[in-house]
Structure 1
Amino acid sequence: MESMEAQSPAFQSPSRSSQQLHFYLAVDRPLFKMETVVELLGVLGRRPWLPIVVCCSSRDELDAVCSSLSTLPYISFAALYSDLGERERASVLEKFRQATINWNQQLNSAVVEEGLEESETREEEDEKKSHLVVVTDVCLPMLSSGESSLSSRVLINYELPTKKETYTRRLTSCLASGGIVINMVVGGEVTTLRSLEESSGIIIAEMPINISEIL
Protein backbone atom coordinates (compact mmCIF):
# COMPACT_ATOMS: atom_id res chain seq x y z
CA MET A 1 0.00 0.00 0.00
CA GLU A 2 1.98 2.94 -1.29
CA SER A 3 0.26 5.60 0.79
CA MET A 4 1.36 3.89 4.00
CA GLU A 5 4.94 3.55 2.83
CA ALA A 6 5.66 7.10 1.71
CA GLN A 7 4.89 10.13 3.81
CA SER A 8 3.63 13.27 2.16
CA PRO A 9 6.47 15.81 2.32
CA ALA A 10 4.02 18.60 3.14
CA PHE A 11 2.74 16.89 6.30
CA GLN A 12 4.04 17.86 9.71
CA SER A 13 3.08 15.72 12.70
CA PRO A 14 0.73 17.74 14.89
CA SER A 15 0.67 17.76 18.67
CA ARG A 16 -2.45 16.26 20.22
CA SER A 17 -5.17 18.91 20.51
CA SER A 18 -8.93 19.31 20.31
CA GLN A 19 -8.69 19.94 16.56
CA GLN A 20 -9.89 17.13 14.31
CA LEU A 21 -7.38 16.03 11.68
CA HIS A 22 -8.44 15.13 8.14
CA PHE A 23 -6.46 12.80 5.89
CA TYR A 24 -6.95 10.95 2.62
CA LEU A 25 -5.63 7.55 1.61
CA ALA A 26 -5.41 7.14 -2.15
CA VAL A 27 -6.12 3.79 -3.82
CA ASP A 28 -5.44 3.19 -7.50
CA ARG A 29 -8.52 1.04 -8.21
CA PRO A 30 -11.79 0.21 -6.43
CA LEU A 31 -10.65 -3.42 -6.48
CA PHE A 32 -7.90 -2.62 -3.98
CA LYS A 33 -9.94 -0.52 -1.56
CA MET A 34 -11.05 -3.35 0.72
CA GLU A 35 -7.57 -4.80 0.90
CA THR A 36 -6.24 -1.35 1.80
CA VAL A 37 -8.77 -0.87 4.60
CA VAL A 38 -7.94 -4.27 6.10
CA GLU A 39 -4.24 -3.42 5.95
CA LEU A 40 -4.86 -0.02 7.56
CA LEU A 41 -6.88 -1.56 10.38
CA GLY A 42 -4.17 -4.16 10.76
CA VAL A 43 -1.99 -1.25 11.89
CA LEU A 44 -4.48 0.87 13.83
CA GLY A 45 -6.39 -2.03 15.35
CA ARG A 46 -3.48 -3.17 17.49
CA ARG A 47 -3.93 -0.23 19.85
CA PRO A 48 -5.78 -1.39 23.00
CA TRP A 49 -9.37 -0.10 23.23
CA LEU A 50 -8.98 2.18 20.20
CA PRO A 51 -12.53 3.25 19.19
CA ILE A 52 -12.94 3.26 15.39
CA VAL A 53 -15.94 3.92 13.15
CA VAL A 54 -16.13 2.95 9.47
CA CYS A 55 -18.84 4.77 7.49
CA CYS A 56 -20.38 3.14 4.42
CA SER A 57 -22.91 4.44 1.92
CA SER A 58 -24.90 1.22 1.51
CA ARG A 59 -25.81 -2.02 3.25
CA ASP A 60 -23.93 -4.04 0.62
CA GLU A 61 -20.78 -2.06 1.42
CA LEU A 62 -21.32 -2.59 5.14
CA ASP A 63 -21.72 -6.36 4.71
CA ALA A 64 -18.56 -6.57 2.60
CA VAL A 65 -16.52 -4.60 5.13
CA CYS A 66 -17.76 -6.71 8.05
CA SER A 67 -16.93 -9.91 6.19
CA SER A 68 -13.37 -8.77 5.51
CA LEU A 69 -12.76 -7.55 9.05
CA SER A 70 -13.74 -10.90 10.52
CA THR A 71 -10.16 -12.03 9.78
CA LEU A 72 -8.65 -9.54 12.25
CA PRO A 73 -8.49 -11.25 15.68
CA TYR A 74 -7.47 -8.12 17.63
CA ILE A 75 -10.53 -6.06 16.68
CA SER A 76 -13.99 -6.41 18.21
CA PHE A 77 -16.54 -5.09 15.75
CA ALA A 78 -20.27 -4.63 15.36
CA ALA A 79 -22.57 -3.14 12.73
CA LEU A 80 -25.42 -0.62 12.73
CA TYR A 81 -27.91 -1.20 9.92
CA SER A 82 -31.54 -0.42 9.18
CA ASP A 83 -33.17 -3.69 10.26
CA LEU A 84 -31.21 -3.99 13.50
CA GLY A 85 -33.53 -4.26 16.50
CA GLU A 86 -33.82 -1.38 18.96
CA ARG A 87 -32.34 -3.37 21.82
CA GLU A 88 -29.44 -4.63 19.69
CA ARG A 89 -28.73 -1.08 18.47
CA ALA A 90 -28.68 0.24 22.03
CA SER A 91 -26.30 -2.56 23.03
CA VAL A 92 -23.87 -1.78 20.17
CA LEU A 93 -23.87 1.92 21.04
CA GLU A 94 -23.36 1.28 24.76
CA LYS A 95 -20.47 -1.16 24.26
CA PHE A 96 -18.76 1.28 21.92
CA ARG A 97 -19.18 4.16 24.37
CA GLN A 98 -17.60 2.01 27.06
CA ALA A 99 -14.66 1.43 24.72
CA THR A 100 -14.24 5.21 24.33
CA ILE A 101 -14.22 5.56 28.11
CA ASN A 102 -11.52 2.88 28.40
CA TRP A 103 -9.51 4.58 25.65
CA ASN A 104 -9.67 7.97 27.35
CA GLN A 105 -8.75 6.47 30.71
CA GLN A 106 -5.76 4.80 29.09
CA LEU A 107 -4.59 8.11 27.63
CA ASN A 108 -4.87 9.79 31.01
CA SER A 109 -3.24 6.95 32.91
CA ALA A 110 0.40 6.80 33.86
CA VAL A 111 0.38 3.03 33.38
CA VAL A 112 2.47 1.92 30.41
CA GLU A 113 0.42 -0.61 28.44
CA GLU A 114 3.50 -2.21 26.94
CA GLY A 115 4.44 -3.46 30.40
CA LEU A 116 1.45 -5.78 30.75
CA GLU A 117 2.12 -9.02 32.62
CA GLU A 118 2.51 -12.16 30.55
CA SER A 119 0.03 -13.86 32.86
CA GLU A 120 -2.80 -11.71 31.49
CA THR A 121 -5.84 -13.90 30.87
CA ARG A 122 -7.53 -14.39 27.52
CA GLU A 123 -10.60 -12.58 28.89
CA GLU A 124 -8.49 -9.55 29.75
CA GLU A 125 -6.88 -9.62 26.31
CA ASP A 126 -10.33 -9.71 24.68
CA GLU A 127 -11.42 -6.71 26.73
CA LYS A 128 -8.45 -4.74 25.43
CA LYS A 129 -9.27 -5.26 21.76
CA SER A 130 -9.86 -2.24 19.56
CA HIS A 131 -13.58 -1.60 19.19
CA LEU A 132 -15.00 -0.86 15.76
CA VAL A 133 -18.48 -0.02 14.53
CA VAL A 134 -19.38 -0.22 10.84
CA VAL A 135 -22.38 1.98 10.02
CA THR A 136 -24.36 3.19 7.01
CA ASP A 137 -25.34 6.85 6.66
CA VAL A 138 -29.01 6.14 7.34
CA CYS A 139 -28.12 4.49 10.67
CA LEU A 140 -25.79 7.11 12.12
CA PRO A 141 -26.55 8.12 15.74
CA MET A 142 -29.58 10.41 15.78
CA LEU A 143 -28.36 13.34 17.85
CA SER A 144 -31.64 15.22 17.42
CA SER A 145 -33.48 12.27 18.99
CA GLY A 146 -31.28 12.09 22.04
CA GLU A 147 -28.65 9.57 20.95
CA SER A 148 -25.10 10.59 21.78
CA SER A 149 -22.22 10.85 19.32
CA LEU A 150 -20.11 7.70 19.08
CA SER A 151 -17.08 9.91 19.85
CA SER A 152 -14.60 7.61 18.12
CA ARG A 153 -10.90 8.41 17.94
CA VAL A 154 -10.74 7.37 14.27
CA LEU A 155 -13.38 7.76 11.55
CA ILE A 156 -12.77 5.99 8.25
CA ASN A 157 -14.92 7.11 5.34
CA TYR A 158 -14.90 3.92 3.30
CA GLU A 159 -16.97 5.68 0.67
CA LEU A 160 -16.11 9.36 0.25
CA PRO A 161 -19.25 11.51 0.68
CA THR A 162 -20.06 13.74 -2.28
CA LYS A 163 -21.90 16.34 -0.18
CA LYS A 164 -20.59 18.60 2.56
CA GLU A 165 -23.71 17.89 4.64
CA THR A 166 -23.05 14.14 4.68
CA TYR A 167 -19.40 14.65 5.55
CA THR A 168 -20.33 17.01 8.39
CA ARG A 169 -23.00 14.66 9.76
CA ARG A 170 -20.52 11.81 9.89
CA LEU A 171 -18.13 14.00 11.85
CA THR A 172 -20.67 15.24 14.38
CA SER A 173 -22.28 11.84 14.99
CA CYS A 174 -19.15 9.68 14.97
CA LEU A 175 -15.95 11.56 15.84
CA ALA A 176 -14.61 12.91 19.13
CA SER A 177 -12.91 16.25 19.54
CA GLY A 178 -9.30 15.77 18.48
CA GLY A 179 -10.19 12.70 16.42
CA ILE A 180 -8.77 11.64 13.08
CA VAL A 181 -10.65 11.25 9.78
CA ILE A 182 -9.26 9.00 7.06
CA ASN A 183 -10.97 9.31 3.67
CA MET A 184 -10.59 6.47 1.19
CA VAL A 185 -10.08 8.05 -2.25
CA VAL A 186 -10.15 6.13 -5.52
CA GLY A 187 -8.97 7.59 -8.83
CA GLY A 188 -11.16 10.48 -9.98
CA GLU A 189 -12.52 11.11 -6.46
CA VAL A 190 -9.68 13.57 -5.89
CA THR A 191 -11.94 16.21 -7.45
CA THR A 192 -14.67 15.39 -4.92
CA LEU A 193 -12.12 15.54 -2.11
CA ARG A 194 -10.96 19.03 -3.09
CA SER A 195 -14.57 20.16 -3.41
CA LEU A 196 -15.24 18.97 0.15
CA GLU A 197 -12.16 20.84 1.33
CA GLU A 198 -13.32 24.07 -0.24
CA SER A 199 -16.97 23.85 0.86
CA SER A 200 -16.12 22.76 4.42
CA GLY A 201 -13.15 25.05 4.96
CA ILE A 202 -10.86 22.20 6.03
CA ILE A 203 -7.50 20.86 4.90
CA ILE A 204 -7.34 17.17 3.97
CA ALA A 205 -3.70 16.06 3.87
CA GLU A 206 -2.18 12.83 2.62
CA MET A 207 -2.19 10.22 5.39
CA PRO A 208 1.28 9.97 6.97
CA ILE A 209 3.11 6.72 7.58
CA ASN A 210 3.17 7.41 11.32
CA ILE A 211 -0.62 7.58 11.59
CA SER A 212 -0.72 5.19 14.56
CA GLU A 213 1.74 7.37 16.47
CA ILE A 214 -0.45 10.47 16.43
CA LEU A 215 -3.54 8.82 17.87
Structure 2
Amino acid sequence: MAIDTNEAPPSQFPSNSSQPCHFYIAVDRQKFKMETFVDLLGVAGKRPSLPMVVCCSSRDELDSVCSAVSNLPNISLASLYSDLADAERSLVFDNFRQATMRWNQKAPVHLGEDGEVVQEGQKAQMIVVTDTCLPVLSCGEPSISARILINYELPLKKETYMRRMATCLAPDGIVINMVVGGEVVTLKTVEESSGLVITEMPINISEIL
Protein backbone atom coordinates (compact mmCIF):
# COMPACT_ATOMS: atom_id res chain seq x y z
CA MET A 1 0.00 0.00 0.00
CA ALA A 2 1.31 3.44 -0.93
CA ILE A 3 1.31 6.16 1.71
CA ASP A 4 0.29 9.67 0.69
CA THR A 5 3.07 11.83 2.10
CA ASN A 6 1.18 15.09 1.55
CA GLU A 7 0.24 16.49 4.93
CA ALA A 8 -3.21 18.03 5.33
CA PRO A 9 -3.43 21.24 7.42
CA PRO A 10 -4.21 20.47 11.09
CA SER A 11 -7.62 22.14 10.78
CA GLN A 12 -8.65 19.36 8.41
CA PHE A 13 -8.04 16.59 10.93
CA PRO A 14 -11.18 14.99 12.42
CA SER A 15 -11.76 15.23 16.14
CA ASN A 16 -10.71 12.24 18.26
CA SER A 17 -13.20 9.45 18.76
CA SER A 18 -14.01 8.16 22.23
CA GLN A 19 -12.77 4.63 21.49
CA PRO A 20 -9.69 3.18 19.79
CA CYS A 21 -9.76 2.88 16.00
CA HIS A 22 -8.05 -0.08 14.33
CA PHE A 23 -6.47 -0.04 10.87
CA TYR A 24 -4.11 -2.19 8.83
CA ILE A 25 -1.57 -1.51 6.11
CA ALA A 26 -1.00 -4.46 3.77
CA VAL A 27 2.25 -4.75 1.81
CA ASP A 28 2.91 -7.39 -0.81
CA ARG A 29 6.41 -8.42 0.26
CA GLN A 30 8.51 -8.32 3.39
CA LYS A 31 11.17 -6.19 1.69
CA PHE A 32 8.66 -3.35 1.25
CA LYS A 33 7.52 -3.37 4.87
CA MET A 34 10.21 -1.13 6.35
CA GLU A 35 9.99 1.32 3.45
CA THR A 36 6.23 1.63 3.95
CA PHE A 37 6.73 2.02 7.70
CA VAL A 38 9.24 4.85 7.23
CA ASP A 39 6.89 6.59 4.77
CA LEU A 40 4.15 6.37 7.40
CA LEU A 41 6.38 7.95 10.03
CA GLY A 42 7.46 10.64 7.62
CA VAL A 43 3.89 11.94 7.72
CA ALA A 44 3.06 11.17 11.36
CA GLY A 45 6.32 12.76 12.52
CA LYS A 46 5.16 16.16 11.32
CA ARG A 47 2.66 16.36 14.16
CA PRO A 48 4.43 18.06 17.09
CA SER A 49 4.64 15.93 20.25
CA LEU A 50 2.57 13.13 18.68
CA PRO A 51 3.06 10.19 21.10
CA MET A 52 3.62 6.88 19.29
CA VAL A 53 4.55 3.37 20.37
CA VAL A 54 5.86 0.69 18.00
CA CYS A 55 5.53 -2.94 19.17
CA CYS A 56 7.87 -5.67 17.92
CA SER A 57 7.94 -9.37 18.70
CA SER A 58 11.73 -9.70 18.85
CA ARG A 59 14.84 -7.74 19.79
CA ASP A 60 16.18 -8.11 16.24
CA GLU A 61 13.13 -6.36 14.82
CA LEU A 62 13.35 -3.69 17.52
CA ASP A 63 16.95 -2.99 16.50
CA SER A 64 15.96 -2.82 12.81
CA VAL A 65 13.14 -0.39 13.53
CA CYS A 66 15.34 1.83 15.70
CA SER A 67 18.03 1.90 13.01
CA ALA A 68 15.50 2.97 10.37
CA VAL A 69 13.86 5.62 12.56
CA SER A 70 17.03 7.13 14.02
CA ASN A 71 17.63 9.28 10.93
CA LEU A 72 14.14 10.77 10.78
CA PRO A 73 14.47 14.46 11.77
CA ASN A 74 11.01 14.97 13.31
CA ILE A 75 10.98 12.02 15.71
CA SER A 76 12.55 11.66 19.15
CA LEU A 77 13.25 7.96 19.64
CA ALA A 78 13.55 5.74 22.74
CA SER A 79 13.46 1.98 23.14
CA LEU A 80 12.56 -0.49 25.88
CA TYR A 81 14.51 -3.75 25.98
CA SER A 82 15.29 -6.42 28.55
CA ASP A 83 18.73 -5.23 29.69
CA LEU A 84 17.70 -1.59 30.14
CA ALA A 85 18.44 -0.34 33.66
CA ASP A 86 15.42 0.48 35.83
CA ALA A 87 16.40 4.14 36.08
CA GLU A 88 16.67 4.42 32.28
CA ARG A 89 13.35 2.65 31.86
CA SER A 90 11.67 5.11 34.24
CA LEU A 91 13.23 8.02 32.36
CA VAL A 92 11.77 6.76 29.07
CA PHE A 93 8.31 6.64 30.66
CA ASP A 94 8.68 10.09 32.22
CA ASN A 95 9.78 11.72 28.96
CA PHE A 96 6.93 10.09 27.09
CA ARG A 97 4.35 11.20 29.64
CA GLN A 98 5.53 14.79 29.13
CA ALA A 99 4.96 14.38 25.39
CA THR A 100 1.45 13.03 25.93
CA MET A 101 0.67 15.99 28.17
CA ARG A 102 1.81 18.40 25.45
CA TRP A 103 -0.25 16.51 22.89
CA ASN A 104 -3.36 16.57 25.06
CA GLN A 105 -2.97 20.30 25.61
CA LYS A 106 -3.25 20.74 21.83
CA ALA A 107 -0.80 23.63 21.62
CA PRO A 108 -1.21 25.85 18.54
CA VAL A 109 0.45 24.49 15.40
CA HIS A 110 1.98 26.69 12.71
CA LEU A 111 2.63 25.77 9.10
CA GLY A 112 5.80 26.74 7.30
CA GLU A 113 6.01 27.94 3.72
CA ASP A 114 6.41 24.35 2.52
CA GLY A 115 3.30 23.24 4.41
CA GLU A 116 5.19 21.38 7.12
CA VAL A 117 4.35 21.80 10.78
CA VAL A 118 6.73 24.17 12.56
CA GLN A 119 7.05 24.06 16.33
CA GLU A 120 10.47 24.21 17.95
CA GLY A 121 11.47 21.62 20.52
CA GLN A 122 8.40 19.44 20.14
CA LYS A 123 9.29 16.48 17.98
CA ALA A 124 6.95 13.53 17.73
CA GLN A 125 7.83 11.09 20.51
CA MET A 126 8.27 7.37 19.84
CA ILE A 127 8.94 4.34 22.01
CA VAL A 128 9.89 1.03 20.37
CA VAL A 129 9.24 -1.97 22.62
CA THR A 130 9.13 -5.77 22.54
CA ASP A 131 6.31 -7.75 24.15
CA THR A 132 8.56 -8.88 26.99
CA CYS A 133 9.25 -5.25 27.97
CA LEU A 134 5.75 -3.77 27.88
CA PRO A 135 4.68 -1.76 30.95
CA VAL A 136 3.77 -4.06 33.85
CA LEU A 137 0.51 -2.64 35.14
CA SER A 138 0.34 -5.13 38.01
CA CYS A 139 3.64 -3.76 39.36
CA GLY A 140 2.45 -0.18 39.34
CA GLU A 141 3.82 0.94 35.98
CA PRO A 142 1.25 3.14 34.21
CA SER A 143 0.01 2.63 30.68
CA ILE A 144 2.09 4.55 28.14
CA SER A 145 -1.15 6.03 26.72
CA ALA A 146 0.13 6.72 23.20
CA ARG A 147 -2.04 8.34 20.57
CA ILE A 148 -0.71 5.91 17.94
CA LEU A 149 0.17 2.23 18.49
CA ILE A 150 1.88 0.60 15.52
CA ASN A 151 2.09 -3.19 15.51
CA TYR A 152 5.16 -3.50 13.32
CA GLU A 153 4.97 -7.22 13.90
CA LEU A 154 1.44 -8.54 14.08
CA PRO A 155 0.84 -10.62 17.23
CA LEU A 156 -0.39 -14.16 16.58
CA LYS A 157 -2.75 -14.23 19.55
CA LYS A 158 -5.55 -11.88 20.50
CA GLU A 159 -4.27 -11.88 24.11
CA THR A 160 -1.01 -10.27 22.96
CA TYR A 161 -2.90 -7.78 20.80
CA MET A 162 -5.13 -6.79 23.72
CA ARG A 163 -2.18 -6.55 26.11
CA ARG A 164 -0.39 -4.16 23.78
CA MET A 165 -3.52 -2.02 23.70
CA ALA A 166 -3.98 -2.07 27.48
CA THR A 167 -0.39 -1.09 28.23
CA CYS A 168 0.41 1.26 25.35
CA LEU A 169 -2.69 2.97 23.97
CA ALA A 170 -4.77 5.94 25.08
CA PRO A 171 -8.54 5.28 25.33
CA ASP A 172 -9.15 7.27 22.12
CA GLY A 173 -5.99 6.10 20.36
CA ILE A 174 -5.33 4.57 16.96
CA VAL A 175 -3.88 1.12 16.24
CA ILE A 176 -2.08 0.60 12.92
CA ASN A 177 -1.17 -2.98 12.01
CA MET A 178 1.57 -3.72 9.47
CA VAL A 179 0.72 -6.95 7.62
CA VAL A 180 2.56 -8.79 4.87
CA GLY A 181 0.99 -11.27 2.46
CA GLY A 182 -0.58 -14.17 4.34
CA GLU A 183 -0.67 -12.24 7.63
CA VAL A 184 -4.01 -10.82 6.52
CA VAL A 185 -5.51 -14.18 7.53
CA THR A 186 -3.95 -13.87 11.00
CA LEU A 187 -5.28 -10.33 11.26
CA LYS A 188 -8.81 -11.49 10.46
CA THR A 189 -8.51 -14.22 13.09
CA VAL A 190 -7.47 -11.67 15.72
CA GLU A 191 -10.27 -9.37 14.59
CA GLU A 192 -12.97 -12.03 14.86
CA SER A 193 -11.78 -13.52 18.16
CA SER A 194 -11.51 -10.11 19.86
CA GLY A 195 -14.69 -8.57 18.49
CA LEU A 196 -12.77 -5.66 16.94
CA VAL A 197 -13.30 -4.00 13.57
CA ILE A 198 -9.99 -3.53 11.73
CA THR A 199 -10.26 -1.65 8.44
CA GLU A 200 -7.74 -0.73 5.77
CA MET A 201 -5.95 2.51 6.56
CA PRO A 202 -6.70 5.48 4.27
CA ILE A 203 -3.90 6.25 1.82
CA ASN A 204 -3.68 9.71 3.39
CA ILE A 205 -2.84 9.10 7.05
CA SER A 206 -3.80 12.71 7.75
CA GLU A 207 -7.42 11.57 7.58
CA ILE A 208 -7.11 9.54 10.79
CA LEU A 209 -4.53 11.36 12.93
How high is the TM-score relative to the length of structure 2? 0.89
Query: 2:193 pairs with 178, 193, 199, which one?
Result: 199
Task: Please state whether the residue corresponding to 1:134 is helix, strand or coil.
Answer: strand
Deviant stretches of 4+, over 3 Å: none
* Gaps in structure 1 of 5+ consecutive residues: 6-12, 117-121
Contact 2:40-2:205 within 8 A present in 1 as well = no
- 2:67 equivalent in structure 1: 67
Q: After TM superposition, give the deviation of residue 36 of structure 1 in Å.
A: 1.0
**Shift in alpha-carbon separation, 1:14–1:130, aligned structure 2, 3 A:** closer
**Shift in alpha-carbon separation, 1:128–1:37, aligned structure 2, 3 A:** same
The residue type equivalent to 1:208 in the other structure is: P
Q: Deviations over 1:80-125 (max 9, x none)?
A: 000000000000011001100000001xx5xx31168xxxxx9x72
- 1:42 equivalent in structure 2: 42
**Shift in alpha-carbon separation, 1:115–1:190, aligned structure 2, 3 A:** closer
Q: Distance in 2 between matches of 1:135 and 1:70?
A: 15
- 2:148 equivalent in structure 1: 154
* Gaps in structure 2 of 5+ consecutive residues: 5-12, 113-117
Give the paired residue count.
Answer: 196
**Shift in alpha-carbon separation, 1:14–1:197, aligned structure 2, 3 A:** farther
Q: After TM superposition, give the deviation of residue 15 of structure 1 in Å.
A: 5.1
Task: Please state whether the residue corresponding to 2:110 is helix, strand or coil.
Answer: helix
Q: Does 1:136 align with 2:116?
A: no
- 1:25 equivalent in structure 2: 25
Counterpart mapping for 1:85-96 below 5 A: 85-96=85-96
Task: Please state whether the residue corresponding to 1:184 is helix, strand or coil.
Answer: strand
Q: Distance in 1 between matches of 2:201 and 2:208?
A: 11
Q: After TM superposition, give the deviation of residue 14 of structure 1 in Å.
A: 7.0
- 2:9 equivalent in structure 1: none
Q: After TM superposition, give the deviation of residue 70 of structure 1 in Å.
A: 1.1
How high is the TM-score relative to the length of structure 1? 0.87
Q: Distance in 2 between matches of 1:198 and 1:15?
A: 27
Contact 2:18-2:172 within 8 A present in 1 as well = yes
Q: Distance in 1 between matches of 2:15 and 2:84?
A: 39
Superposed CA RMSD: 1.8
- 2:109 equivalent in structure 1: 113
The residue type equivalent to 2:96 in the other structure is: F
Q: Distance in 1 between matches of 2:208 and 2:56?
A: 24
Counterpart mapping for 1:44-59 below 5 A: 44-59=44-59
The residue type equivalent to 1:35 in the other structure is: E
Q: Does 1:211 align with 2:205?
A: yes
Contact 2:48-2:124 within 8 A present in 1 as well = yes
Contact 2:14-2:207 within 8 A present in 1 as well = no
